[in-house]
Amino acid sequence: MADHHETLRDSDLFPPNHAAALERLQAFVPGAGRRYAAERNRDAGPGRRDNVSMLSPYIRHRVLSERQVLQAVLAQHSPEGAEKFIQEVFWRTYWKGWLQMRPQVWRAFLRELAADRARLEQDAGLRSAVTAAQEGRSAVEGFDDWARELVQTGYLHNHARMWFASIWIFTLGLPWTLGAEFFLRHLRDADPASNTLGWRWVAGIQTPGKTYLARADNIARYTDNRFRPDNLATEAHPIREESPPPPTPLPTPPTLPPGQRVLLLLHGDDLGGHEALPAVVSQIIPRPFSHTDPGYRPSVFPDYALGWKIPGR
């Protein structure tokens, strides 16, 4: 295991450029049908992940759009044949829209995170338990390997994310916000929607009454018997009751003035924003911008400013 970690640094796993993203997409597409549906839950470990796409950092930062990914898949598979993969890509889109229409859920996460961080300052026992968990010293088999893998590679398989979040909350009894923030800091695909709502779902806040309990036999089965922890929680009660807030409509985007020059700033949150615009790019100025949102993780993908001429007049 350590050997894989030595060689699979995140910069190796996800080269931050468009050509690498396209190459990975093309390599994955033949397996996006039956193979993905049958094998996607298996986490055979670092360096053995060709059963999933590992496209998430590229999709997250919109180096590749969901449309582009699905078009490539549908060029080789029927919609029925690739149904499972298509559904997973739509989960991302669904979570994005869900949070976009309920921005107060993100603000509530940030408030709860600040309160839990303040507790850490005052509670030495909690502080050392959180540090041990993040450094892979919790004494829970599997969990410690995933903590180190996350920090060293910037990626975890979906099933490992579910097991990790469940063990963090229900076995170790740690505040869910601090686990979510640990993911945000290290995942190359760190996303306010997929991550926050994924953690809320495991904790039983997102879907009222439903939690996710990690079980040793499930972990052993889907990790090819690499791990079978014997000290897991045996029950998982929702950490609180909360009805999801109703959706609010999105603001209407402003209309761009015809014939005018505009400057579009593209940053790591959406490097494909220019795809919606009609004209040709007149200038590309790569430059880093400063971000103040505490949920924003500096991306390895470069930021750009694009000069744009809107057609007309």
Ligand X SMILES: Cc1cc2nc3c(=O)[nH]c(=O)nc-3n(C[C@H](O)[C@H](O)[C@H](O)COP(=O)(O)OP(=O)(O)OC[C@H]3O[C@@H](n4cnc5c(N)ncnc54)[C@H](O)[C@@H]3O)c2cc1C
Check residue 61 for interaction with ligand X (CB under 6 A).
Answer: no
Rounded Cα gap, residues 231 and 170, in angstroms: 11
CB of 120 to ligand X, least distance (A): 20
One DSSP character per residue, 98-155 reads HHHT-HHHHHHHHHHHHHHHHHHHH-HHHHHHHHHHHTT-S--TTHHHHHHHHHHHS-
Which residue type is seen at 72? A
| Nearest by Cα to 142 from 118, 117, 168 | 168
CA atoms of 76 and 96, how far apart (whole Å)? 27
Binding residues for FAD, by number, are 36, 85, 189-191
- How far apart are alpha carbons 64 and 7 in whole angstroms? 26
CB of 132 to ligand X, least distance (A): 20
Rounded to a whole number of angstroms, the minimum distance from the CB of residue 259 to ligand X is 38
Instruction: Label the pairing between strands 304-309 and 281-286.
Output: antiparallel
51 or 136: whose CB is closer to ligand X?
51
| Closest CB 215 distance from ligand X, rounded Å | 15
Q: Does 83 bind ligand X (CB under 6 A)?
A: no
Residues ≥6 apart with Cβ < 8 Å to 293: none
63, 113, 187, 266: residue in contact with ligand X (rule CB under 6 A): 187
Residue 99 as a binder of ligand X (CB under 6 A): the answer is no
Q: Between residues 133 and 308, which has the closer beta carbon with respect to ligand X?
A: 133
- When asked if residue 60 is in the footprint of ligand X (CB under 6 A), the reply is yes
Binding site for ligand X (CB under 6 A): 40, 52-56, 59-60, 88-89, 91-92, 95, 157-158, 161-162, 165, 183, 187, 189-191, 194-195, 198-199, 202
